[in-house]
Amino acid sequence: MPKIKIAVLGTGGTIAGEANSAADVLNYQDSQLSAADTLAPLRPYLPGNVELLVVQISQLGSENFSTDTWLGLADAITRLEETEAPDGFVLTQGTDTLEETAYFLHLAIKTPKPVVVVGAMRPATALSADGPLNLLRAVQLAASPLARGLGVMVVANERIFSAREVTKSHTSSIDSFGSPEFGCVGYMQNGEVKLHRMPSRHHTMDSPFNVAGLHSLPKVDIVYAYAGAGCESIRAFLSHGARGLVHAGTGNGSISSVHRAAYREAILRGVPVVRSSRTGSGLVSRNGAMNDDAFGSVGADTLSPQKARVLLCLALTLTQDAVQLQCYFDNY
Ligand code: DAS
């Protein structure tokens, strides 16, 4: 049987976490076990033709990830592709910002091969730890020809999600990952890939974003809207070099009159403003809750504030023009 080589990149997180007691699922140290250690319990269940290439990238909780971390991961995948030519990739990481890494890679890396990002809600030492099964499923998915061309996927709790759509939705439940708007793209039925639909938006090979050789991404900040919010955060972000702002708006991405005045200044200074919603679901469309044509802002489509930030970071490497930016938000 021909070998299937899967590169597993470990970055830490709860999937590599340890607690003092197996009954403790909340007080633990993340990023303790190596990627090789987290793979040990599932090795007996891997098909004989699957060969793992394990690369320890870091031991870092994902709340500490930055845009530089994303660039480093894209670079690591590209180098492995060039030097080892694996058949698929698995990235293990903390769950807190997993959806941001996954969407970044979905837009930025240039490979048709399966890339699966996976984490765990419980430390590796827990009774009923979810990491080993999630990781086994991630390797099985990355090794499947069915997963080719689907971009970056996330596997959690036996479901397969597309990177654009998935979100962490619970502080501690093992059923935290979901896609409230679109659902999963398929299931890992006892290790067998069962696909039900394709990711609808462009990604990887069809994306114009290329981070090869980039040492940093444009600084983009998120402004959270709430009753009575002032514009101090907008002013502070601008004075600290923000090149783009994502508005985590109330309802359909509404902007209060106080925020509007500060955003107008930003747009006049050439800093694009993208309207998203803090509600957690729904579509913020152009010229919906406000007239983007007149104001010069951009609608985030169905992207959450944190995902809109990922796309804006990448889009700003190509343009600052609001009409072109809107085109990216309509298509990616
Ligand atoms: N420690 C958090 C993180 O690294 C939680 C986790 O890993 O799931 O994202």
Rounded-to-integer distance, Cα 178 and Cα 185, Å: 11
- Amino acid identity, residue 132? P
Of 48, 101, 43, 95, nearest in space to 76 by CA: 101
Query: What is the pLDDT confidence band of residue 292, given thresholds at 50, 70 and 90?
Result: very high
Query: What's the 167 CA to ligand 1 centre distance in angstroms?
Result: 14
For ligand 1, atom 8: residue with the closest CA: 95
Of 170, 109, 134, 113, nearest in space to 45 by CA: 134
List alpha helices for 213-256, DSSP H: 232-239
Q: Residue 2's pLDDT is what?
A: 86
Query: What's the 291 CA to ligand 1 centre distance in angstroms?
Result: 39
Phi-psi region of 162 (alpha: psi -120 to 50; beta: other; left: phi over 0): beta
Q: Which residues line ligand 1 (CB under 6 A)?
A: 13-14, 30, 61-63, 94-96, 119
Which atom of ligand 1 is nearest the CA belonging to 15? 7
CB under 8 Å to 39, separation ≥6 — which residues?
A: 8, 52, 54, 135
For ligand 1, atom 7: residue with the closest CA: 94
Do the strands 50-56 and 4-10 form a parallel or antiparallel pair, or are they unpaired?
A: parallel
Query: What's the 31 CA to ligand 1 centre distance in angstroms?
Result: 9
Do the strands 152-156 and 115-118 form a parallel or antiparallel pair, or are they unpaired?
A: parallel
Q: Do residues 111 and 81 lie in contact, with contact meaning Cβ atoms separated by under 8 Å?
A: yes
Sorted by where each starts, the structural domains of the chain and their CATH numbers stand as: 4-206 (3.40.50.1170), 220-331 (3.40.50.40)
Query: What is the pLDDT confidence band of residue 293, given thresholds at 50, 70 and 90?
Result: very high
Query: What is the CA angle 122-124-125, rounded to 5?
Result: 100
For ligand 1, atom 2: residue with the closest CA: 94
pLDDT digits (tens, 9 = 90+) for 159-180: 999 999 999 999 999 999 999 9
Q: Residue 1's pLDDT is what?
A: 78
For ligand 1, atom 6: residue with the closest CA: 94
- Token pair for 67: 């845009």
For ligand 1, atom 3: residue with the closest CA: 94
Query: What's the 98 CA to ligand 1 centre distance in angstroms?
Result: 8
Of 46, 182, 176, nearest in space to 120 by CA: 176
pTM score of the predicted model: 0.98
Mean of per-residue pLDDT scores for the chain: 97
Of 76, 93, 118, nearest in space to 13 by CA: 93
C-alpha distances in angstroms, 98 versus 11, 45, 155, 169, 187?
Answer: 11, 25, 11, 12, 19
Task: Phi first, then psi: give them for residue 313, nearest 5 degrees.
Answer: -55, -45
Q: Residue 18's pLDDT is what?
A: 98
**Of 11, 14, 97, 250, catalytic:** 14
Task: Phi first, then psi: give them for residue 156, nearest 5 degrees.
Answer: -155, 135
Ligand 1 pocket test, candidate residues 15, 27, 30, 33, most atoms within 8 A of CB: 30
What would the mean pLDDT of 60-64 be, rounded to a whole number? 98
Q: Do residues 273 and 309 lie in contact, with contact meaning Cβ atoms separated by under 8 Å?
A: no
Which atom of ligand 1 is nearest the CA belonging to 98? 9
Rounded-to-integer distance, Cα 235 and Cα 70, Å: 27
Rounded-to-integer distance, Cα 76 and Cα 9, Å: 9
Which atom of ligand 1 is nearest the CA belonging to 14? 7
Which atom of ligand 1 is nearest the CA belonging to 119? 8
- Token pair for 228: 């009575």
Which atom of ligand 1 is nearest the CA belonging to 97? 9
Ligand 1 pocket test, candidate residues 25, 38, 62, most atoms within 8 A of CB: 62
Active site residue 14: yes
Query: What's the 124 CA to ligand 1 centre distance in angstroms?
Result: 12
C-alpha distances in angstroms, 53 versus 32, 72, 91, 143?
Answer: 20, 18, 12, 13
Query: What is the pLDDT confidence band of residue 135, given thresholds at 50, 70 and 90?
Result: very high
How many other C-beta atoms lie within 10 A of the C-beta of residue 241? 10
pLDDT digits (tens, 9 = 90+) for 190-237: 999 999 999 989 999 999 999 999 999 999 999 999 999 999 999 999
Percent of the chain with pLDDT over 70: 100
Query: What's the 149 CA to ligand 1 centre distance in angstroms?
Result: 28
Output DSSP code: residue 23. Answer: T
Q: Residue 311's pLDDT is what?
A: 98
Query: What's the 318 CA to ligand 1 centre distance in angstroms?
Result: 32
Give the strand order in the sheet containing 298-299.
220-224, 244-249, 273-277, 298-299
